[in-house]
Amino acid sequence: MTSGKTEVLLVGCGKMGGALLAGWLKGGAVDRAVAVDPGPGPDVFAGDARVTVCRSGLDLPAGFAPDVVVIAVKPQMMADAAPVYRDIVQRGAVVLSIAAGKTIAHFEDLYGAATPVVRAMPNTPAAIGRGISVAVPNARVTPAQRALCDRLLQAGGAVEWVDDEALIDVVTATSGGGPAYVFLLIESLAAAGVAAGLPADLAMKLARTTVSGAGELARQSSETAEQLRKNVTSPNGTTQAALGVLMAEGGVPDLMVRAIAAATRRSRELAD
């Protein structure tokens, strides 16, 4: 922090890093950001005086000493992308990683055992301030660094902190990837409507509006999700006929257990 200003180095400005940066700039959470990305991702921010775009970590502005280094590259790119920031991290920045699978120990190995590291998992609704992140700090993170990471993550929506890092793999499977499962539901609902005779544009409008409306109702209502489901399900009516298929053995609840287990396994594999 320079004279009370918050300075961020963002490594990887793609879908998730870009969504976070947009939220920081919009909410004023960041006074200066240097975004490193070899692709066109950060170009959309180039007109903002607070943002400097670099194509490589070797081209950082002279003397740049960020408060936080946010790692937002794909886990598979980590070995190429992350080592170049060792000096800058060792000058006192906290590392905030949103990469699936990559553990706190991974960054301690890379940057030194004394490095303050926060491992977090956001999701793409952060782009509209409606995401949720879960974060875990290592013991080196100071209260001020934790508050800074909390502020950065809150620009994208809700934030939960946990102590057990192993939960982050499950969080990754549940809420990190969760929006994709919901978009699949929209696609599947629309496709099923078309298969049953609806025009495609009407089917897609019904699916998008129904899923987003139901999501907003779930957010605003004090009733449980189960009760909200029952409120739609008239005894021996049409919804009950559909749920008899969806909730049968091997149906959505069973599939979701398998899906979350597969994603959790994959997150653990990406640690290496």
Ligand X SMILES: NC(=O)C1=CN([C@@H]2O[C@H](COP(=O)(O)OP(=O)(O)OC[C@H]3O[C@@H](n4cnc5c(N)ncnc54)[C@H](OP(=O)(O)O)[C@@H]3O)[C@@H](O)[C@H]2O)C=CC1
Q: Using CB under 6 A, list all residues that contact ligand X.
A: 11-17, 36-39, 41, 72-75, 77, 80-81, 98-100, 121-124, 176
Strand 68-71 to 51-54 pairing: unpaired
Calculate ∠ Cα 151-11-270, nearest 5°. 95
Q: Under the criterion CB under 6 A, does residue 97 sit at the interface with ligand A1CAB?
A: no
Residue 73 counted as an annotated binding residue: yes
Residue 62 counted as an annotated binding residue: no
Residue 40 counted as an annotated binding residue: no
CA 248 from centroid of its chain's CA atoms: 32
Q: Under the criterion CB under 6 A, does residue 12 sit at the interface with ligand A1CAB?
A: no
Q: How far is the CB of 21 from ligand X (least distance, A)?
A: 11
Between CA 170 and CA 166 the distance in angstroms is 8
Q: What are the residues whose beta carbons fall under 8 Å from the beta carbon of 90, sequence distance 6 or more?
A: 111, 112, 115
State phi, psi for 228 to the nearest 5 degrees. -60, -40
Closer residue to ligand X (CB): 32 or 102: 102
Between CA 24 and CA 27 the distance in angstroms is 5
* Interface of this chain with ligand A1CAB, residues 150 to 179, rule: CB under 6 A: 172, 176-177
Q: How far is the CB of 240 from ligand A1CAB (least distance, A)?
A: 34
Closer residue to ligand A1CAB (CB): 138 or 174: 174
Calculate ∠ Cα 220-224-226, nearest 5°. 125
Q: How far is the CB of 43 from ligand X (least distance, A)?
A: 11
Q: How far is the CB of 157 from ligand X (least distance, A)?
A: 12
Strand 131-137 to 68-71 pairing: unpaired
What is the longest distance spanned by two Cα atoms in the chain? 70
Binding-site ranges for ligand A1CAB (CB under 6 A): 100, 172, 176-177
Binding residues for NADP(+), as ranges, are: 72-75
Binding residues, as ranges, are: 72-75
